């Protein structure tokens, strides 16, 4: 007679599989937290390469032509602070540089940097200089937890919170007397996602220039993870769903809540432009083409997506500065009016 008090072989196997499954879940959870913590945490400091830059004197990154910076220096800016539109941080102050045009009724453009960056990076300062030289006022800002701005948790939320900082900058400009429908936004890299979201949520913003944008936050995060880990297999992307779950648990951030591919649907009757480096290894240029096509379908006024040969991530302004300036000024002049 069989001893029924002893576990059966099937019972041992089922128990073993349950233990293995639990260990796999715990391992996935741990690795995905490492990914979230590594990608989503920001130091708050500007890159040391940019720390000394100001609009009146700044250097480009190694490998680019310093003459591009020298041609786009601006007057000494006015240091300003303003609140985010985020009701969860009403007392936090965001830092900015305000460089008004000579004309009091000139249109204005808000400059939005990318993740791990700040308003001191040359890829923001150069287009700002182009715009100012053409007669536009410019407001260069540090997003929360970046540069000289105050913050909340040192966690980047993929634009779901940061777009409220851009809207705080918009509100500040209106309070300074800038005509509400003569304000546009330039965004770089992940900052372009933030800019697109800001325009999608605030219909008063007339125009957005998106340089090196991504369609969705989960794809962008996956690409960043693969790039940072130097993962040739791309398997690290499978950790992204877990990382996004950790974002909700740790910081209450729903990273895909305002994906740009959905936000461009709100641009009907307004202007949006996409520029991208053909050699972008972080966020492929196909993303800008996809965003452009979606914007066209939504009825937005948008020039053809400009894919710049030989340009890497956010490198178009250095690879073809003359073409960049011509397109940038033409776009904002058409959208906001002649400075």
Identify the domain boundary among 255, 283, 304: 255
Residue 16's pLDDT is what?
74
Domain count for the chain = 2
Q: Which residue has the higher pLDDT, 8 or 36?
A: 36
| CATH for 65 | 3.40.50.1820
| Average pLDDT for the chain | 93
Residue 229's pLDDT is what?
72
What does 237-302 look like in DSSP terms, one character per residue?
A: GGGHHHHHHHHHHHH---TTTT-HHHHGGGGTTSEEEEEEETT-SSS-THHHHHHHHHHHHTT-B-
Q: Which residue has the higher pLDDT, 77 or 2?
A: 77
Segment 185-194, tens digit of pLDDT = 999 999 999 9
Segment 165-222, tens digit of pLDDT = 999 999 999 999 999 999 999 999 999 999 999 999 999 999 999 999 999 999 998 8
d(CA 337, CA 181): 10
Same domain? For 97 and 130 the reply is yes
Give the residue-averaged pLDDT of 86-101: 95
Give the residue-averaged pLDDT of 227-241: 81
Task: Domain of residue 16: give its range.
Answer: 10-40+218-255
Identify the domain boundary among 255, 277, 307: 255
Which two three-digit tokens encode residue 277? 């480096």
In this structure, is residue 162 part of a structural domain?
yes
Give the residue-averaged pLDDT of 149-168: 93
Share of the chain above pLDDT 90, in %: 78
Residue that the structure tokens 């972008």 belong to: 280
Same domain? For 187 and 95 the reply is yes
Identify the domain boundary among 206, 238, 255: 255
Same domain? For 118 and 151 the reply is yes
Q: Which residues make beta-bridge pairs with 41?
A: 155
In this prediction, residue 158 has a pLDDT band, given cuts at 50, 70 and 90, of: confident
Segment 264-298, tens digit of pLDDT = 999 999 999 999 999 999 899 999 999 999 999 99
In this structure, is residue 2 part of a structural domain?
no
Residue 4's pLDDT is what?
58
Same domain? For 306 and 192 the reply is yes
In this structure, is residue 141 part of a structural domain?
yes
d(CA 177, CA 17): 67
Residue that the structure tokens 């369609």 belong to: 215
Same domain? For 127 and 141 the reply is yes
Residue 10's pLDDT is what?
73
Same domain? For 143 and 291 the reply is yes
Same domain? For 28 and 90 the reply is no
Residue 6's pLDDT is what?
60
In this structure, is residue 249 part of a structural domain?
yes
In this structure, is residue 79 part of a structural domain?
yes
Same domain? For 184 and 276 the reply is yes
Segment 25-81, tens digit of pLDDT = 888 899 899 888 888 888 888 999 999 999 999 999 999 999 999 999 999 999 999
d(CA 321, CA 327): 10
Same domain? For 301 and 233 the reply is no
In this structure, is residue 212 part of a structural domain?
yes
Same domain? For 238 and 107 the reply is no
In this structure, is residue 316 part of a structural domain?
yes
Q: Spell 211-220 as b/e; 16+ CB within 10 A means b.
A: bbbbbbbbbb
Residue 105's pLDDT is what?
94
Same domain? For 147 and 229 the reply is no
Same domain? For 296 and 317 the reply is yes
Examine the pLDDT at 128 and tell me if it is beyond 60: yes
In this structure, is residue 18 part of a structural domain?
yes
In this prediction, residue 97 has a pLDDT band, given cuts at 50, 70 and 90, of: very high
Least confident among 53-67, 241-255, 301-315: 241-255
Residue 153's pLDDT is what?
86
Give the residue-averaged pLDDT of 311-327: 98
């Amino acid at each position: 007679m069989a001893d029924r008090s002893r576990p059966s072989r099937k019972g041992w196997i089922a128990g073993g599989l349950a233990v293995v499954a639990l260990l796999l879940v715990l391992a996935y959870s741990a690795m995905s937290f490492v990914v979230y913590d590594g990608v989503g945490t920001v130091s708050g400091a500007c890159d040391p390469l940019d720390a000394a830059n100001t609009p009146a004197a700044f250097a480009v990154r190694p490998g680019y032509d310093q003459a591009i910076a020298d041609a786009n220096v601006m007057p000494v800016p006015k240091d300003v602070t303003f609140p985010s539109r985020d009701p969860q941080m009403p007392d936090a102050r965001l830092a900015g540089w305000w460089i008004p045009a000579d004309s009091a009724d000139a249109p204005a453009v808000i400059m939005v940097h990318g993740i791990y960056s700040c308003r001191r990076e040359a890829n923001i300062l150069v287009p700002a200089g182009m715009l100012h030289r053409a007669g536009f006022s410019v407001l260069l800002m540090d997003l929360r937890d970046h540069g000289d701005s105050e913050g909340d948790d040192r966690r980047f939320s993929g634009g779901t919170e940061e777009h409220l900082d851009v809207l705080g900058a918009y509100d500040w400009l209106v309070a300074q007397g800038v005509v509400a429908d003569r304000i546009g936004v330039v965004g770089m890299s992940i900052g372009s996602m933030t800019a697109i979201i800001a325009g999608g949520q605030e219909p008063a913003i007339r125009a957005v220039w998106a340089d090196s944008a991504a369609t969705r936050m989960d794809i962008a995060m996956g690409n960043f993870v693969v790039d940072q880990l130097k993962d040739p297999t791309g398997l690290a992307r499978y950790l992204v769903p877990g990382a996004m779950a950790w974002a909700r648990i740790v910081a209450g951030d729903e990273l895909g809540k305002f994906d740009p591919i959905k936000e461009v649907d709100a641009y009907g009757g307004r202007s949006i432009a996409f520029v991208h480096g053909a050699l972008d290894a972080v966020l492929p240029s196909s993303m800008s083409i996809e965003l452009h096509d979606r914007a066209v379908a939504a009825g937005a006024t948008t020039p053809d997506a400009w894919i710049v040969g030989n340009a890497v991530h956010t490198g178009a302004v250095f690879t073809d500065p003359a073409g960049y300036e011509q397109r940038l000024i033409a776009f904002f002049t058409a959208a906001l009016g002649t400075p």
